[in-house]
Structure 1
Amino acid sequence: MRAAVLALVTAGLIGSPGTARAADDHKELVVGAWELAFSDAKDVPVGTRLEFTRAGKVKMTVRADGKDTTAEDTYSVEKDVLTLGGPDRNKRSGDSGRICLLNKTTLVLHDEREDKVLVLKRLTSKK
């Protein structure tokens, strides 16, 4: 029993700094250009491009009917939630998603309010 309690306390102490580090990693890893590879949300078409900047801006490009439509907004990353727009906008329209997976090549978001999943692939720059 004593060994089990010691193991739990040790795991909690070791895991705590990793959680803060993961939140910082999310803020850095999300920066760049992404393309929507899969979406079960009908209002977000596959092929939509999002470009996140370090300054907290996002540029969205949607292709519909052979035309590109571009919009700009702000974004924030708090722990494991990515939110488009300010806090007031999030309360009204629910433009946020829980980050399920984020690495150098893949971003998976889950919109818990509408229970939808978005899978984005990082676009590589052509040099």
Structure 2
Amino acid sequence: MRAAVLALVTVGLIGSPGTARAADDSKELIVGAWELVFSDAKDVPVGTRLEFTRDGKVKMTVRTDGNGPPVEDTYSVEKDVLTLGGPDRNKRGGDSGRIRLLNKTTLVLHDEREDKVLVLKRVHSKK
């Protein structure tokens, strides 16, 4: 019994720095241009582009019939939650999603409030 408790404590201590490092990785990995390839949210059409910058800004281009005008906003990443518009907007019912997967090519977000999933792929930004 004592060995099992010691093992759990050891795993917990070793896992803690990894969790903090993962949050920092998310802040770095999210920077760049992404395109929505799947969404079960009706108000976010496939083809929408999001471009995240290092300074906490995001430019969104919503695709409807043609090219929509870009909308600029702010974003933050806290642990595994991506929030658009900052924490004040999120408290008023703003946009946030739990990061379920984030790597060099794929970003999967889960909007837990509406139980919707968004899948984005990294794209090269136009210069």
- TM-score above 0.5: yes
**Structure 1 runs (4+) greater than 6 angstroms displaced:** none
Identify which range, 64-73 or 51-60, moves more after superposition.
64-73
Match of residue 19 from structure 1: 19
Instruction: Indicate if the aligned counterparts of 2:85 and 2:94 stay in contact, CA closer than 8 A.
Output: no
Instruction: Indicate if the aligned counterparts of 2:35 and 2:47 stay in contact, CA closer than 8 A.
Output: yes
Q: Summarize deviations over 1:19-49 as a string: whole Å, max 9, x none.
A: 1000101100000000001000000000000
CA distance in 2 between counterparts of 1:126 and 1:42 reads 27
Match of residue 109 from structure 2: 109
Identity %: 88
Judged with a 3 Å threshold, the aligned counterparts in structure 2 of structure 1 residues 104 and 9 are, in CA distance, closer, same or farther, namely same
CA distance in 2 between counterparts of 1:84 and 1:125 reads 20
Match of residue 61 from structure 1: 61
Judged with a 3 Å threshold, the aligned counterparts in structure 2 of structure 1 residues 12 and 121 are, in CA distance, closer, same or farther, namely same
CA distance in 1 between counterparts of 2:57 and 2:116 reads 23
Gaps of 5+ in 2: none
In the comparison of the two structures, how many residue pairs are matched? 127
Q: Under a length normalisation based on structure 2, what TM-score does the superposition of the two structures give?
A: 0.94
How far 1:126 moved relative to its partner? 7.8
CA distance in 2 between counterparts of 1:125 and 1:90 reads 27
Task: Determine helix, strand or coil for the equivalent of 1:93.
Answer: coil
Match of residue 33 from structure 1: 33
Residue pairs, 1:80-95, within 5 angstroms: 80-95=80-95
Q: Which amino acid aligns with 2:25?
A: D
Task: Determine helix, strand or coil for the equivalent of 2:69.
Answer: strand
CA-based RMSD of the aligned residues comes to 1.5
How far 1:9 moved relative to its partner? 1.1
Gaps of 5+ in 1: none
Instruction: Indicate if the aligned counterparts of 2:108 and 2:118 stay in contact, CA closer than 8 A.
Output: yes
CA distance in 2 between counterparts of 1:74 and 1:126 reads 20
Match of residue 73 from structure 1: 73
Q: Summarize deviations over 1:39-88 as a string: whole Å, max 9, x none.
A: 00000000000000001000001111223221000000011100000222
